[in-house]
Structure 1
Amino acid sequence: MAVHSKHPASAPPGPPVREKTGHLMLRGWCIFVLFMSLSGTAWVHAFGELTATVVTIAGGVLSAVLWIVLRPPVQWRRLPWFVVAYVVWATLSLAWSAWPQATALTLLLLYITTLQALFVGSVLTWRELVRAVASALKWVLALSILFELWVAVFIGQPVLPGFVVEKADDPIEYWSRDNLFDFPGRLQGIMGNANLLAPVALLAIVVFAIRLASGAPRRTFLWIWMALSAYLFVRASSATAYLAAAAVAVVLVTVLLMRRATRPGERTKYYVAYAAVGVGGLLGLWVLRDAIFTALGRSADLTGREGIWEKVLARAAERPWVGWGYSTPWVPSDPAFDEWIIDHGQTVLQAHNMWVDVAMQLGIIGVVLLAFLYFAFVWRAWFFAVDRPRWDLRADRPYSPLTLLPTLVGAILLVQGLAESTPLLLWGWLFVVMLGAKIKQSPHVGVGPAEQSEAIERGDAVERDEPTGRRLPARPPRRRAPRSETSPAAAGDPAGSGA
C-alpha cells in the first residue's frame, strides 16, 4: 500500500487548477460590458432610448459596486492622467455650455464609459481581456448576420428601428435595408449603420488573428469567425474602414520588422521607411482623392462631410479657446442641434471628424488635451508592441502576440477619427481608456500584481513558465526547518531552503 512520505519531495497530487464560479461570472459581465459598447446604437434601435439609457446607467452602477467589492490591485499613481484631464475639462464646460442639458446628459455617458473601461482593464489580465473582447465581437457579428438573415428571409423588405415595417422617406432611416442577398448592397448589422459595422468587423479580424497567433484553442472555429468578419467588412463597404485596414497593415508590418532588429541603430531605417510611407500615403490620398473615392463608390468631398466641417468650424471660430460646451454625440432634441445640419433629411449627430468635433465643443484647449491623450496612448502602445519584454537581466524572452492589440486599435481609431466622431464615444473611447490604462498598470503580459493576483485571475495561485507562457500549478508552501537544525536557512541564507 502506497504511503506518502513525511518529507515529500514534491506536492501531493491534487485536482487541476480551475476558475471559480465567481470569476467566471465576472468575466461574463465584462463580456456583456464590451458587447454593449461594440454594438453601439443597436440597443436604441431594438428597445428604444429609455431602455437603452436604463441599461447603460444600471451597468455603470453594477460595475462600480463590483469594483468596490473586489478591490483589484490598482496603482493609482499610474492612471491615464490625460484621460482624467480631458474628462475634467469636459465637465468644466458645463459652466459655459450653450446647451447645458445636452452637456449634462452626454457627460453621464462619458463618465459611465470611462468607468467601464477602467473596471474591465483592472479586473481582467491581458489574456483574459483579449479573450473577452473576442467573445463580445462574436456576439456582435453573429447577431448582425442573423438579424440581416431574419430580415431577408422572414420580412423580405427593409425594417425601421423598433422592428417597424414601413416605407421610409430616405434609406438612411432604415435599421436594415434587406441587402443580404442583394450584392453589392451594404449591410448595416445590428448597429443600423454600415460605417459602424465596418470598423468593428476590422477589429474582429485583428483580434481573431491575434488569438490564432497566441495559440488559442478551437482554431478551426476562429478561422470561421475570421471569415465571417471579413465578409461583413467587405459587405459594409466603408471607405474609411478600407483606409483603416491599410493603416493596420502598414503598422503591423513595421512592428514585425522592428522586432527583427538586433542592434540599437537597426530600427532607424525602419522608422524612416515607416515615416515615408505614412507621409507619402497621406499626400497621395489627398492628391488622388477624386480617383480613390470614385473607385470606392464615394464622392470626393467624403459624402458631404466637407460641408459639415465648414459649418462646424465656423461655429467653433466664434469661441476658439473653450468651445461651446461638451456634447458627444450631439443631442438632436436640443434646439441648438435640431435641424442645424441636415443630411438626407435627418439631423446630423456628429461632425464626422473627432478633431473638428472637439474644436467646436471644447475649443483649442480640448483639442490639445485630446492630442496629448492619443499621443500618450500611441507612444505606449507602440513600444509595448516593439520592445522585447524585459524587467531583469534576461533579454531573450519571446514576444507576445497580445501586445499587438493596442497599437493596431490605435491605427483603426486614428484613421476612423478623420471621417467619424465615433472614437470619442462607445467602443472607441472605451478601448483607448481601457488599453491605455492596462498598459500603464501591466506593462508586461503575465507579470506583476495585476496579472498574477489570485483575486483576479484564478481561484488558486498559479505561476507561469516564462519561455513558453504555460500555466504551471502553484508550488506548495515550503516547510521551514526548526531553529535547532543546522541548515543554510537557519543560518540566514535565503537560498538554502530549496534545491
Structure 2
Amino acid sequence: MTPGPPHPLSGLRALLASAAFARAYALTALTAVFGALAIERIAGIVTIATIISGLVLIGLAMLVARRAEYSLVRLAPTTLAVFVAWLLATVAWTGDPTSTLVSWLSLAGIAVIAVVVALVRDTIQTVRALGDVMRFLLSLSLGLEILSGIIFDTPLDFLGIQGRITDFGPIQGLFGTRNLLGFVTVIALITFLIEFRTLSVHSSVAIYSVVLGGVTATLTDSPTVFVVAVAVALATAALVVVRNAPRERRSALQWVLAVAVIVGVVAGYALRGPIVRLLGAGTDFSLRTDLWAALVPVVRFRPVQGWGWFGPWVPSEFPFNAINFALKQNHASALNAYLDVLLQAGWAGLLLFLAFTGVALVRAWLDASQRRSVVYAWTPLILVALLVDSLFESFTLSGFGWFLLVLCAVRAGQSRSWRERMDPPMPPGRSGLPSGGIAPGGQGPDGPAR
C-alpha cells in the first residue's frame, strides 16, 4: 500500500523544531531586545512592537512544535509566574488601566521570548549567540561614536550620540545613555571571557572582543560600571574558591561566603559617603538620593499594592509626574529597580521580586559551584551583574535587562528545582538538553565537548 501524502504542516513543524531555526531565533531575539532602543529611534515604536510580537508568536509556535520535549510544569519558575501575575493584578487599582495593561504585555512578551530561548538553546549555545550579538552591537556603537566625534564632528541626535569620543567620553553608542552602554559592556565582558575560557571562539576573536568591551566600558565614564565590575570580579573569585574546594567543605564555605556578602553590604552602606567620593560620583549619587527621598513618601499612600505597573515611567501619569514636579527633573525611572517595584507593585510585589531573583541566584550559584564546566559560571555572574546594577538603575525591569533576568532564572531552574522530584524521567534516548547539539568548541552538560 502506498503511503499517503505528507501532512501539509509537517514541513513547518519540522522547521520550527529544527536546531538551525532555534539558533536563528536566538540570534534574532537577542539582536531585537538589545537593539530595541536604536530600532525604536530609527524606525519607530510600532516597528519594535511588531518585531517583539512576531517573536512571541514564533516562539510559542516553536514550543508547540517541540511540545514532546517539555512538560508544562517545567516551562518557567513558579516565582516568575507569581510575580508576573501580581503585576497583571495591579490593573485593578492603577490610575490608567490601559497603560498598565500595555506595559504588562510588553513585560510578558519579553519574558516569553526569554523562556523560549532558554528552552531551545543550552548554556553554551546561549553564550555563543549573545557573544556574537554583543560583538556586533559594540563594534557598531564604537564605529558610530568615531563617525560622530572624529569624522563628522557632530552629534547624532536621533541616536542620542553626543560625539565626545575625542574627549575620551562619555559615549552612549546605540544604547542612549552612558550608564546603559556601560552595563551592556559588563554583560558583554562576562560573556566574552566565558567564550575564551571554553574555547568557543578563535583566540583572535576572543582577544578582540575583550579589548572592545574594555575600551567601550572605559569610554562610557560611568561610575556604576566600576561598581558592577568589582562586584562581578569578587563573585568570580568566590566562585573559583568554591569550585576548587573539596566537596565535603563546600557547604560550610558557602555559608561563610553568604555571611561575608551580608557584612560587605552593610559595610558598603555604612561607608557609602567615602566610596562615592572615591569614585567621583557625588553628583550622580546626590541625584539618586534626592529622587529616592521624594519617592518614599509616595509609597506610604499605597504600601502594599503600589500604584500600578508601568515599568519605565509614563511622565503624564501619577505619581511619576508628581515626583518629577517636586524635583523639577524628568526621571524615566526610580534609578533603582527595587524601589521601582516597591513604588509600582507595593511591598507584595517587592517581596515576590526578591523571592524570584534570590531563588534564581541561589540555584545558579549552587549549580555553577558543582559542575565541572566553567560555562555554568555565566548564569550566576550575569545575575550578580543584574542585581547589583539594580541598586543604581532600573534596567532589569524592562528590555534586555528583564530578558536576561528571566533567561537566567529559567536556566537555573532547569537543573535545580522541585520539579526534578515530581517530573517523570526522560524516555530512553532522550536528552534533557535542548535539541541542537553542542556548538563547535563548546561545552556539554558536564564538561568540554570532545
Q: TM-score, normalised by structure 2?
A: 0.85
Match of 1:89 among 86, 90, 95: 86
Q: Distance in 2 between matches of 1:62 and 1:345?
A: 44
TM-aligned CA deviation for residue 344 of structure 1 = 10
Match of 1:324 among 295, 307, 310: 307
Q: Distance in 2 between matches of 1:451 and 1:27?
A: 20
Q: Distance in 1 between matches of 2:359 and 2:391?
A: 19
Identity of aligned residues (%): 24
Q: Distance in 1 between matches of 2:302 and 2:267?
A: 34
**Amino acid paired to 1:222:** A
Q: Which residue of 2 aligns with 1:374?
A: 357
TM-aligned CA deviation for residue 65 of structure 1 = 2.6
CA RMSD of aligned residues (A): 3.0
**Amino acid paired to 2:449:** R
**Amino acid paired to 2:196:** L
Match of 2:281 among 263, 282, 298: 298
TM-aligned CA deviation for residue 451 of structure 1 = 8.8
Match of 2:122 among 110, 117, 125: 125
**Amino acid paired to 1:140:** L
TM-aligned CA deviation for residue 68 of structure 1 = 2.4
| Superposed counterparts of 1:79-118, under 5 Å | 79-118=76-115
Query: Could you report, residue by residue, the CA deviation over 1:161-215 in whole angstroms, capped at 9, with x for unpaired residues?
Result: 2x6xxxxxxxxxxx011012222x2111101111111111011111111111112
Greater CA drift, 124-133 or 39-48? 39-48
Q: Which residue of 2 aligns with 1:211?
A: 195
Counterpart contact for 2:16–2:62, Cα < 8 Å: no
What is the SS of the residue equivalent to 1:341?
helix
Corresponding pairs, count? 423
Q: Which runs of 5+ in 1 are unaligned?
A: 1-18, 164-174, 389-398, 472-499
Q: Distance in 1 between matches of 2:85 and 2:312?
A: 18
Greater CA drift, 347-356 or 82-91? 347-356
Match of 1:186 among 154, 158, 170: 170
| Superposed counterparts of 1:289-438, under 5 Å | 289-299=272-282, 302-334=285-317, 337-338=320-321, 340-341=323-324, 347-388=330-371, 399-438=372-411
**Amino acid paired to 1:37:** V
TM-aligned CA deviation for residue 119 of structure 1 = 0.6
**Amino acid paired to 2:92:** A
Q: Which residue of 2 aligns with 1:11?
A: none
Sort the Cα spacing of 1:215 and 1:245 in 2 relative to 1 into closer, same or farther, 3 A. same
Query: Could you report, residue by residue, the CA deviation over 1:301-355 in whole angstroms, capped at 9, with x for unpaired residues?
Result: 6141111112222111101111111110112354654474169976211111111
Counterpart contact for 2:288–2:335, Cα < 8 Å: yes
| Superposed counterparts of 1:229-248, under 5 Å | 229-248=213-232
Match of 2:72 among 59, 63, 76: 76
Q: Which residue of 1 aligns with 2:211?
A: 227
TM-aligned CA deviation for residue 52 of structure 1 = 2.3
Structure (1 or 2) with the larger CA radius of gyration: 1
Q: Which residue of 1 aligns with 2:436?
A: 457
Counterpart contact for 1:381–1:406, Cα < 8 Å: yes
Query: Could you report, residue by residue, the CA deviation over 1:404-460 in whole angstroms, capped at 9, with x for unpaired residues?
Result: 01110111011111111111111222122112212323469xx9789947982159x
Sort the Cα spacing of 1:355 and 1:250 in 2 relative to 1 into closer, same or farther, 3 A. same
Q: Distance in 2 between matches of 1:249 and 1:42?
A: 30
Q: Distance in 2 between matches of 1:236 and 1:306?
A: 22
Counterpart contact for 1:102–1:330, Cα < 8 Å: no
Q: Which residue of 1 aligns with 2:420?
A: none
Q: Which runs of 5+ in 2 are unaligned?
A: 1-14, 418-424
Q: Which residue of 2 aligns with 1:7?
A: none
Q: Distance in 2 between matches of 1:441 and 1:451?
A: 16
Q: Distance in 2 between matches of 1:382 and 1:318?
A: 38
Match of 2:154 among 152, 157, 169: 157
Sort the Cα spacing of 1:194 and 1:303 in 2 relative to 1 into closer, same or farther, 3 A. farther
Return the structure number with greater helix share: 2
Sort the Cα spacing of 1:258 and 1:134 in 2 relative to 1 into closer, same or farther, 3 A. same
Greater CA drift, 351-360 or 46-55? 46-55
Q: Distance in 2 between matches of 1:74 and 1:362?
A: 32
What is the SS of the residue equivalent to 1:350?
coil
Q: Which residue of 1 aligns with 2:6?
A: none
Counterpart contact for 2:38–2:174, Cα < 8 Å: yes
Counterpart contact for 2:335–2:394, Cα < 8 Å: yes
Q: Which residue of 1 aligns with 2:413?
A: 440
What is the SS of the residue equivalent to 2:165?
coil
Sort the Cα spacing of 1:467 and 1:188 in 2 relative to 1 into closer, same or farther, 3 A. closer
TM-aligned CA deviation for residue 241 of structure 1 = 2.0
Counterpart contact for 1:82–1:369, Cα < 8 Å: yes
**Amino acid paired to 2:38:** A
Q: Which residue of 2 aligns with 1:481?
A: none
Q: Distance in 2 between matches of 1:440 and 1:327?
A: 27
Q: TM-score, normalised by structure 1?
A: 0.77
| Superposed counterparts of 1:54-73, under 5 Å | 54-71=50-67, 73=69
Sort the Cα spacing of 1:280 and 1:376 in 2 relative to 1 into closer, same or farther, 3 A. closer
